[in-house]
Each structure stands twice: as structure tokens, then as C-alpha cells.
């Protein structure tokens, strides 16, 4: 082999070796970066959410708000869709969530009686509880409590009927209770009943269970309508908007003119209810704030920063009627 050929061969060999070294170094850097990203993901704060009962639009909006708030803080949300509307299912769900290396549990209990056991389980795992509840006495069972004032929400529904019927015109009410045993439904019921107790013309004729479900409420109201002469009832108080919308369907099918023959008030503030109010078919809804998820993540962010956090955060609410919903509000859910 000539000297020129040897030189060319050596140059080519060095280039190949250099390229191989470069590729190996690049692969090593890529592996290190992948490992760093994986490690960063492993270090993310994991937040669990447990809900009891079937999902309503209000709860779906809560999940969306919570998901967006977690993403903004690079937190990881761990959540299971409810499979049963029972406290026993939710307790098993909580046990499962606590085994997934979570630091915080956002809890909307279907039954407050489980809280003692949940707190014991969470304490054993070093998990902080952010409780969503309507009973101030439960503040001792959690790190922080997001308070939904169901009692005052029920009072506002009574006020809406009082504004419609005054203190002399008879108001014969069907109450549609939420899921049997629901803490939030119980507090709303208590507030409503306390508020109407001062006005003898406002009285509850019948109570049925709607379960925060349009179909269940519709069927229950249809049974009451068919078993009583037309005009027996002229008002509905529903603990949840889904129940109120079910009642609206039942009365329309029965030939009533909702908004004239019957007044319907409920609590949640979902979009379909507001549309019915604007259409003149629905009297009022009490809007519970949809930003509960944002509040929960703000609490967790402060806890992670080592800041002092209040034990209690009260969520705002408002009465929505035709007077303040004269223009459709597309930004509200």
C-alpha cells in the first residue's frame, strides 16, 4: 500500500472513530437528560381527589378546574371515577389512593361518618387532608377545610320563593332531597326549612329523593303529579340543580306552565338552569362557586412552600334570578 493510500486510510479511520465517540457521548447525554426528566416527574407533588356518588355537572367542572390548577403548578392529580354511590365504595377508593404515594387528599365525603377512619389512614401515610364540607365542626378532621355554606344556600332558595309568593299567597312546596345521607343536601334542607318556618304560607307538602339526577327526580315528580290533582303543588325546592331540571321536565310533560303555574328553585348554578331562568321557566338557582379546585391547589401550594395556612376557607355563593341573568353569561359554566 502506498504512503498516500495509508494516509487516506488513517484519516478515514480517525473520522469513523471520532463520529462513534461523538454518538456515544450524545447518547449518554440523552440518557442523562431522560433520567433527569424522569426523576423530576417522580418528584412531582401527587394530589388525590375522592368524590362520592354519580358525577354531576358541578362536580365535573370541579375536576376540570382541579386538573388545570394542578397542571399549572406541575402537580400530578390522581383520581378515580365513582363506581358506586356508597360510602363503602368511597372508603375503598380512599384506601387505594393513599397507597399511590400521594401527599394530599382532597376529600368530598358522601358520608361524614367515615372521616375519623379516613384521618387515621391519612395520618399513618403522612397525607394531609383538604376537606370539602358544609359542617364547621369537621374542621378538626383535616389540615384545611373548604367550607360550602349549604345552610345559607338553602336560606337563599327560601328567600327566592318568598319574593315570589309574599307572606300571604299559599306556596305548596315539593322538596327534592339529594342523595339519601348526603351531608351537603342535609345542610341545604336545614337552611331552607329554618327560613320558611317564619312564614306559614310557605309549607312543604311532600319530600322525595332525587339523588342529584335529572332522571330520578323526573320520575319521582311524575309519581307525585299523577297521584294528586293539578294545582296541589305550585313550587319546588331542589337541593341540586339536576333535581330541579328533572322536576321542570316532569311538570312540562304534565301540562303545567313552569314559571307561571309552578316555581322551581335549586342550588348549584349550572348552565342549563341559568338558561331555564332566562327562558322564564325557572325561578332561581343559588350558584356555588366553581373555583373550588383552584382554592384547593392554592392551599397546597402554600403548604409546600412552608407557609402558614388558614384552617378554614369559605366559598362564595350567590342567588341567580332573571333580574341578574338578563343577559346570558357565556363565561359561567
* Extents of the domains making up the chain: 46-147+290-316, 150-288
Q: Where are the beta strands (DSSP E) in the chain?
A: 46-51, 76-79, 104-108, 128-133, 144-147, 171-177, 202-209, 235-238, 263-268, 284-288, 312-314, 317-320
Torsion (CA) 184, 206, 167, 265 in degrees, nearest 10: 50
Question: What does the angle CA 207 – CA 208 – CA 210 come to, to the nearest 5 degrees?
Answer: 135
Q: What CATH topology corresponds to 150-288?
A: Rossmann fold (3.40.50)
What pLDDT, on the 0 to 100 scale, is given for residue 2?
A: 54
What pLDDT, on the 0 to 100 scale, is given for residue 288?
A: 86
Alpha-carbon gap, residue 74 to 43, rounded angstroms:
10
Q: Do domains 46-147+290-316 and 150-288 have the same CATH topology?
A: yes
What pLDDT, on the 0 to 100 scale, is given for residue 42?
A: 63
What does each of the 333 residues of the chain score in pLDDT, given as a tens digit? 555 544 444 434 344 444 443 343 454 445 444 343 334 456 899 999 998 777 788 788 889 999 999 999 999 999 998 888 788 899 999 999 999 999 999 999 988 889 999 999 999 999 999 999 999 999 989 999 999 999 999 999 999 999 999 999 999 999 999 888 888 999 999 999 999 999 999 999 999 999 899 999 999 999 999 999 998 999 999 999 999 999 999 999 999 999 999 999 999 999 999 999 999 999 999 998 878 899 999 999 999 999 999 999 999 999 999 998 876 555 444
Alpha-carbon gap, residue 209 to 220, rounded angstroms:
7
> pTM for this structure?
0.82
Alpha-carbon gap, residue 300 to 258, rounded angstroms:
44
Reduced to 3 DSSP states, what percent helix, strand and coil does the chain have, rounded to the nearest 5?
Answer: 50, 20, 30
What pLDDT, on the 0 to 100 scale, is given for residue 253?
A: 96
Domain 46-147+290-316 class in CATH: alpha beta
Amino acid at each position: 500500500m502506498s504512503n498516500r493510500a495509508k494516509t487516506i486510510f488513517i484519516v478515514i479511520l480517525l473520522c469513523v472513530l471520532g463520529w462513534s465517540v461523538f454518538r456515544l457521548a450524545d447518547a449518554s447525554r440523552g440518557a442523562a437528560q431522560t433520567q433527569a426528566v424522569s426523576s423530576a416527574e417522580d418528584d412531582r407533588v401527587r394530589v388525590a381527589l375522592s368524590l362520592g356518588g354519580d358525577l354531576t355537572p358541578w362536580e365535573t367542572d370541579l375536576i376540570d378546574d382541579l386538573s388545570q390548577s394542578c397542571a399549572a403548578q406541575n402537580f400530578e392529580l390522581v383520581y378515580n371515577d365513582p363506581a358506586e354511590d356508597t360510602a363503602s365504595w368511597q372508603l375503598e377508593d380512599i384506601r387505594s389512593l393513599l397507597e399511590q404515594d400521594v401527599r394530599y387528599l382532597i376529600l368530598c365525603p358522601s358520608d361524614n361518618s367515615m372521616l375519623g377512619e379516613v384521618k387515621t389512614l391519612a395520618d399513618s401515610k403522612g397525607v394531609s387532608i383538604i376537606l370539602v364540607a358544609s359542617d364547621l365542626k369537621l374542621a378538626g378532621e383535616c389540615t384545611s377545610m373548604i367550607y360550602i355554606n349549604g345552610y345559607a344556600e338553602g336560606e337563599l332558595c327560601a328567600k327566592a320563593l318568598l319574593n315570589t309568593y309574599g307572606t300571604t299567597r299559599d306556596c305548596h312546596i315539593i322538596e327534592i332531597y339529594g342523595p339519601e345521607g348526603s351531608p351537603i343536601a342535609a345542610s341545604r334542607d336545614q337552611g331552607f326549612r329554618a327560613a320558611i318556618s317564619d312564614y306559614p304560607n310557605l309549607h312543604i307538602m311532600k319530600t322525595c329523593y332525587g339523588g342529584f339526577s335529572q332522571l330520578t327526580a323526573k320520575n319521582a315528580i311524575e309519581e307525585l303529579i299523577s297521584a294528586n290533582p293539578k294545582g296541589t303543588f305550585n313550587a319546588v325546592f331542589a337541593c341540586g340543580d339536576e333535581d330541579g331540571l328533572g322536576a321542570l321536565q316532569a311538570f312540562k310533560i304534565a301540562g303545567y306552565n313552569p314559571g307561571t303555574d309552578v316555581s322551581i328553585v335549586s342550588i348549584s348554578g349550572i348552565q342549563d338552569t341559568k338558561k331555564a331562568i332566562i327562558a322564564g321557566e325557572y325561578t332561581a338557582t343559588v350558584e356555588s362557586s366553581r373555583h373550588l379546585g383552584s382554592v384547593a391547589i392554592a392551599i397546597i401550594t402554600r403548604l409546600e412552600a412552608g407557609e402558614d395556612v388558614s384552617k378554614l376557607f369559605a366559598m362564595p355563593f350567590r342567588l341567580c334570578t332573571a333580574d341578574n341573568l338578563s343577559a346570558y353569561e357565556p363565561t359561567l359554566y
